[in-house]
Amino acid sequence: MAAEEAGGVSRSPACLCVLCGLPAAGKSTLARKVLRTAALHGWRATVVPYDDLIPEHAFQTRVEEHKEWKSHRQAVLQCIEQFLEKPQLLAELPVRCQIDSAAWQRCIRALLQPEALDPSQAERAPLLFLLDDNFYYPSMRYEMYQLARKYSLGFCQVYLQCDLESCISRNQSRSKPIPTEVILEMVKRLESPNPQKNSWETNSILLNTTDDLSKCDIQKVMELISSALSNPLSPAEDNTEQKEADRLKCATNVVHQTDQACRRHISEAMKTARENQVAPKHMKSLAAQLNESKATFLHNLRRQLLQEASFAQEEDIDVERVVKRAADVFDHEKKEILLRIMNENS
Position 5 scores a pLDDT of 42
Q: Quote the CA–CA distance of 214 and 105 in Å, as a whole number.
A: 31
Q: How far apart are CA 247 and CA 199, in angstroms?
A: 14
257: CB partners within 8 A, 6+ apart: 319, 323
User: Which of 144, 143, 145, 157 lies closest to 233 in space, CA to CA?
Assistant: 145
- The predicted pLDDT at position 321 comes to 80
pLDDT band at 20 (very low <50, low <70, confident <90, very high): very high
Return the percent helix, strand and coil in the chain, to nearest 5.
60, 10, 30
Phi-psi region of 21 (alpha: psi -120 to 50; beta: other; left: phi over 0): left
Task: Tell me what percent of the residues of the chain surpass a pLDDT of 90.
Answer: 37
pLDDT in tens, 289-335: 999 999 998 988 888 877 664 444 444 566 778 888 888 999 999 99
- The DSSP bridge partners found for residue 207 are 160
pLDDT digit string, tens, across residues 168-221: 999 999 888 888 988 898 888 888 999 988 889 999 999 999 998 999 999 999
- Greatest Cα-to-Cα distance within the chain, rounded to the nearest angstrom: 80
**What stretches of 123-238 show up as alpha helix (H) in DSSP?**
138-150, 164-172, 180-189, 215-230
Please state, rounded to an integer, the average pLDDT across all residues of the chain: 82
The Cα 249–Cα 310 span in angstroms is 14
- pLDDT level of residue 118 (50, 70, 90 thresholds): low
- Is pTM beyond 0.85 here? no
| pLDDT given at position 308 | 61
- pLDDT band for position 2 (cuts 50, 70, 90): very low
pLDDT at residue 62 greater than cutoff 60: no
Domains of the chain: 3-230 (3.40.50.300), 239-345 (no CATH)
Distance separating the N- and C-terminal Cα atoms of the chain = 71
pLDDT at 36 over 50: yes
CA-CA distance, 26 to 309, in Å (whole number)?
36
Q: How far apart are CA 200 and CA 157, in angstroms?
A: 10
**Residue 78 phi/psi, 5° resolution?**
-65, -40
Separation CA 227–CA 232 (nearest Å): 9
Q: Is 201 helix (H, G, I), strand (E, B) or coil?
A: helix
- Buried/exposed code over 324-334 (b: 16+ C-beta within 10 A; e: otherwise): eebbeebbebb
- Whole-angstrom distance, CA of residue 264 vs CA of residue 270: 10
How does residue 116 score in pLDDT terms, banded at 50, 70 and 90? low
pLDDT at 96: 52
Q: Please tell me the predicted confidence (pLDDT) of residue 193.
A: 92
Identify residue 311 by its one-letter amino acid code. Answer: F
Answer with the residue of higher pLDDT: 243 or 153.
Answer: 153
Q: For the segment 156-181, what is each residue's pLDDT rounded down to a tens digit?
A: 999 999 999 999 999 999 888 888 98
Give 345's pLDDT tier (boundaries 50, 70, 90). Answer: confident
In this predicted structure, the answer to whether residue 113 has a pLDDT above a threshold of 80 is no
